[in-house]
Amino acid sequence: MLTGFLLSGFLLALLGAILPAWGYHRDPPEFIVVGNYFLSLAVGIILATRLAEPIRLRRGLGFLLVAGCLLSCAALFFLALIPLPDAGSNWLRAAGLLALGGGAGLANVALFHGISPRFQREAAATVVIGGIWYGIGCLAATLLVAGTFYAYTVPSILILMATVPGIFAVLYARAPIATAAGAHRSLREVLADFRSPGAILFGLLLFVQFGNEWSIAGWLPIFLIRRVGLSQSGALMVLALYFLFLLVGRLIAIAVLPRVRHTRLLMGSVVSAIFGCLILMSTNNGFGAGTGAFFVGAGFASIYPLVAEAIGRRFPYYHPGFFNGIFTFAQVGGLIAPATLGYAAEYWGVGVVLGIPLIGTFMVMLLLILIWLESKVTGR
């Protein structure tokens, strides 16, 4: 079941990778349109999250998984049929991305319920392994677009990408998937936890951190093409390096966690991310872009697993269905941030693409300090 997070990462990384193929790096810039695309994806996830629970209770977990995969597959086929961007096709493309977000949202809810037995046995390891599969999916989507950029047309690339959720739909349809039993707390009890400052701070931290990660993931290719002068395929390869450094950094972070103080590791990660953003903002060549991607990816790598582990310790009684709510909130933040960047870039230029994640990284540092102070005061 954890391998399903590969599909989640694949679907959500797709938009940032496909934007150069759609031509949104050219003049005149249409950054507001790009912002609308990210917003459509986020709205799709929100709507699917609201609809998923009644569907799961009525039709079962397996049906929900297959439905999410098939909806994602259909959305990608629909996007493949839309002509290259023009004033008439932009809203059709936004509708397709809304459906894609809906498919990803249904699959995410089902996956969090499906990992319930393993989560209850070993929460931290389950979250970390799921995050690794998620990173592999992001890397796979970017490499697929980069590797086929000059070999295939854009519709062909999207049809090829549509086969991935299609394959997952077939696998889930054939596999027996039972809804995991677990101790469910009432919604009132869960919401009561979020009256505490610590829970609110954890949620805000993940919201901001996912926003930082996906601002880079969504806009780095366009930034590198317009500001640094890289080719479309070159910019996509730097994006792939970013996902690779993020993935390898998380593996390294897991290995060193028992031997390094978590506070020191988190602060070092934040400093590395800030340094990487500054390099990307000042570079004028591919080597500098790759170096900046290394420091940003390495800096962001350990923040998510450490925070997720802390949430699992702080709220050990959470069933993953409720735990999913925290991460859906964070995931939506990861898509709203690049949407906001589109609107900001329309007025202040593409340089703001790195400025806002830089500010967001400082916010992460502030939230980490506040969480540390809250834990000292409450003794948790």
CA 9 to chain centre: 6
CB 79 within 8 A of CB 11: no
pTM: 0.89
End-to-end CA distance of the chain: 32
Taking only the tens place, the pLDDT of each residue in 281-311 is: 999 899 999 999 999 999 988 887 777 666 6
Calculate ∠ Cα 329-113-69, nearest 5°. 80
What is the Cα–Cα distance from 47 to 320, expressed in whole angstroms?
A: 19
pLDDT digits (tens, 9 = 90+) for 235-279: 999 999 999 999 998 888 777 877 877 778 888 888 899 999 999
Q: How far is CA 289 from CA 15, 19, 300, in A?
A: 20, 19, 16
Residue with tokens 């599969």: 133
Q: What is the CA radius of gyration of the chain?
A: 20
Per-residue pLDDT tens digits for 119-153: 667 666 677 788 889 899 999 999 999 999 888 89
Read off the CATH number of the domain in which 84 is found. Answer: 1.20.1250.20
> 12: how many CB neighbours lie within 10 A of its CB?
26
- The packing angle between helices 303-314 and 232-256, to 10°, is 40
Can you tell me the distance from the alpha carbon of 12 to that of 286, in angstroms, rounded to the nearest whole number?
25
Distance CA 150, CA 375 (A): 53
For 59, the token pair is 């039709």
Q: What is the structure's pLDDT at 358?
A: 87
Looking up tokens 């996007």, which residue turns up?
Answer: 79
For the chain, how many structural domains are there in total? 1
Q: Looking at residue 183, what is its pLDDT?
A: 44
Which candidate, 333, 203, 361, 354, places its Cα nearest to that of 269? 361
The residue range of the domain holding 344 is 4-177+185-378
pLDDT less than 50: residues of the chain: 182-187, 190, 317-323
pLDDT for 237 equals: 95
The Cα–Cα gap between 82 and 154 comes to: 10
Tell me whether residue 224 is exposed, middle or buried, using C-beta atoms within 10 angstroms of its C-beta: 0 to 12, 13 to 18, 19 or more: buried
Cβ atoms of residues 237 and 267 within 8 Å: no
Nearest residue to 93 via CA among 5, 7, 14: 14
pLDDT at 321: 47
